[in-house]
Structure 1
Amino acid sequence: MSTATPPISGSATTPAPSAGHTRRRWTAFGGSLRELALIPVIIVVAIAGTVFVPYFASVDNVINNILSTSAVLGVMVIAQSIILISGYFDLSMQSVVGLAPMLAVWLIAPAADGGSGANLPSWAAPLIVLGLGAAVGLVNGFLVGKLRLNAFIVTLAMLILLQGFTLGISKGQTFSNLPESMAFIGTTSPLGIPLDVWILVIVVIVAAVFMRYVPTGRRIYAMGGNEKAAKAAGVRTLRMTVGLFVFGGVMAGFAGVLLSTRIASVTANQGENLIFTVFAAAVIGGISLDGGKGSIIGAATGVLLLGMINNILVLSNVPSFWIDATYGAIILGALLIGSAEVRNTVLAPFQKKSRSQAMTSS
């Protein structure tokens, strides 16, 4: 009786890997590398901070300063990154960060404390915050998606409009009597870690899984790459555009709550200049301003890097205007690196090797 022998690797019975399969494998490998491109930089910054700023490496500083302070920025960056991947952007998110919690406190606080006198119950605060963010996003989405107005002009005008409302409602003053439904976020620390840090981690994980594995996430990439082609392929681009702007508004309102609970108040200029830091983190994290490219994990590493740099500069008593200048330099550096296609140059040897292997095997 004859016995069957297993196929020997490389023999005629073993199918050779196709060139397409090899290219897909190396493309996926290259995408993973791009997501983690900032990790070496983060390690270098961490080492430099540990050496030159002794308090930098302490557990209390990492958790309560770097991560907790980055929670607001992280939520904003993740939301803005998804919008950028779709081919649009939303400048008005900065003003929603200030107006949404300000409106909630103003409607709930008694007239004696500077409120409107409406005396709404505390539980209404989240509904007001998220509802305002959704309403702003709905208007932006309609103007950009339906009327085809320029996203920059629309969201810039909305930013200025909302800033005026914030100053008008607050009359330039700061509200420190936050509703209990908002204040608990800043005082809760599950397992000794601030709640806003847990929220940031959850937002990053959910967004990364959504954009990579959920069909709607893939449609967002398709729309950002070529909106007309995506529409021809059956993607409902108008609905997607409106939905993304609504999502951005809701997340900006939620980020405003996180910021208010961290500083235990709502200020008249809350969120000022935040949008520039948001774009800085997104750009250095590999999010393309042209749409269709980038990853949530990459954006998250951008947030972490900026949080570490900001912490080092603050602990080193560097004036705030130099910190802003540093962010500007980081954005320019990231744009220059992207234009020079340094990452593609790094991956080129792997891509050439995969092509030569495919030709040899065929």
Structure 2
Amino acid sequence: MSATTDLTEPAASAADPTAAATDRRRIDLGRFRELSLIPAILVLMLIGFIVSPAFLTADNLIGVLQQSTELSLLVLATALILISGRMDLSLESTIGVAPVIAVWLVLPASGARFTGLGLFPEWMAVPLCLLAGAAIGAFNGFLILKLRLNGFIVTLGALTMLRGLQLAISEGQSIVELPPSFAYLGKTAWLGVPAAIWICVVLFAVGASALAWLRHGRALYAIGGNAEAARTAGIRVDRIVWIVLIIGSLLAAFAGILYTGHYGSISATQGSGWIFQVFAATVIGGVSLNGGKGSVFGALTGVLTLQLVVNVMTLAGVPPLWNQFLNGAIIIVALIISRFASGEKQE
């Protein structure tokens, strides 16, 4: 049930007890949908233990979570954007180009394999990376909301343009000279657990709380369900969607910081092809491509499911070349299940 329905729910419930009972059943189904992947995760963990006793070791499970962190931030961004009824394909380029821009601005112009501009001190690398992400989201929002261009085409064009910018700045090579702040966030551990995992837990908790308790967060469901009805109800649709697009790009840029620090370099193709995994995780997590439905927790279970599948396949000796096929198959199966479970047409 979308937030658009919530706006008129008290009156409808008082006038028609049957409608109120139907609404309660829908709420219960929505909560069940958030938990629908939990049994699958448990089954995957059982299969993983059968395939290899090393699966349930602390090192392996922490490794799975560590490898999920960057992808999970993109999934969080995509979930928020999809719930609002929009789509952003450029996130997979933002995770690569934002760190490249930041490093380019802070590294000295000489004395290193990669020559930068040296315009800012190295401690500014993280803020500059986040600023680059925010600028990308703001630019996409301007084209989509002010010029009224098709969001899919705009973000597809931005994906290509930003990928080209990343290649041009990096000159097609990997950048290994990184600011200390990047390395710290990507490699340090807090209480024996990688800092990136703690950061992702906090960000997902903030996202879930915003959607559940904040007025603007709850308005995303109304906007995604019916933007015109939300606008009639007094919701400032364009402003909220614009903010969501900026937040999405910020999360993608921050994912780029974590990924860069974790692996100790920025690849010239960093983030390439990630959008398929992102949509696979988001869709199987119960977020509707039509907008107005889904949850942050469901999206998180989608990420964990995908990563556990990959981990189990790796331990079983299955070639990683099958991963992309599996991601596509999971999306199709999730759409089929969603179609018959909801009774709605997927257009």
Q: TM-score, normalised by structure 1?
A: 0.87
- The percent identity for this pair of structures is 43
- Distance in 2 between the 1:21 and 1:310 partners? 43
> Deviation per CA, 1:223-278, whole angstroms, max 9, x where unpaired?
00001111111111111121111111111100100111111111100001011100
* Aligned counterpart, 2:91: 93
Matching of residues 76-87 of structure 1 within 5 Å = 76-87=74-85
Unaligned runs of 5+ in 2: 1-16
Structure 2 SS opposite 1:287: coil
- Alignment of 1:340 with 2:307, yes or no, is no
Give 1:85 shift. 0.4
Structure 2 SS opposite 1:123: helix
Aligned partner letter, 1:47: L
Contact kept, 8 Å, 2:51 with 2:315, in 1: the verdict is no
Matching of residues 1-362 of structure 1 within 5 Å = 19=18, 22-63=21-62, 65-110=63-108, 111-113=110-112, 114-118=114-118, 120-341=120-341
Larger Rg over CA atoms: 1
> Deviation per CA, 1:188-217, whole angstroms, max 9, x where unpaired?
211100001101111111111110111111
Contact kept, 8 Å, 1:83 with 1:244, in 2: the verdict is yes
Aligned partner letter, 2:53: P
> Deviation per CA, 1:27-83, whole angstroms, max 9, x where unpaired?
3322211110111111111100110122211111101x2101000011110111010
Contact kept, 8 Å, 2:94 with 2:253, in 1: the verdict is yes
Structure 1 SS opposite 2:268: coil
Give the length in aligned residue pairs: 327
Aligned partner letter, 1:218: R
Deviates more, 1:50-59 or 1:102-111: 102-111
- Distance in 1 between the 2:213 and 2:194 partners? 29
Q: TM-score, normalised by structure 2?
A: 0.91
Contact kept, 8 Å, 2:47 with 2:312, in 1: the verdict is no
Aligned partner letter, 1:143: L
Contact kept, 8 Å, 1:105 with 1:115, in 2: the verdict is no
Contact kept, 8 Å, 1:177 with 1:265, in 2: the verdict is yes
Structure 2 SS opposite 1:289: coil
Give 1:315 shift. 2.7
- Distance in 2 between the 1:266 and 1:103 partners? 11
Contact kept, 8 Å, 1:49 with 1:56, in 2: the verdict is yes
Give 1:21 shift. 5.1
- Distance in 2 between the 1:244 and 1:119 partners? 30
Give 1:121 shift. 1.0
Give 1:319 shift. 2.4
- Distance in 1 between the 2:119 and 2:176 partners? 16
Aligned partner letter, 1:197: I
Contact kept, 8 Å, 1:108 with 1:115, in 2: the verdict is no
Aligned partner letter, 2:111: A
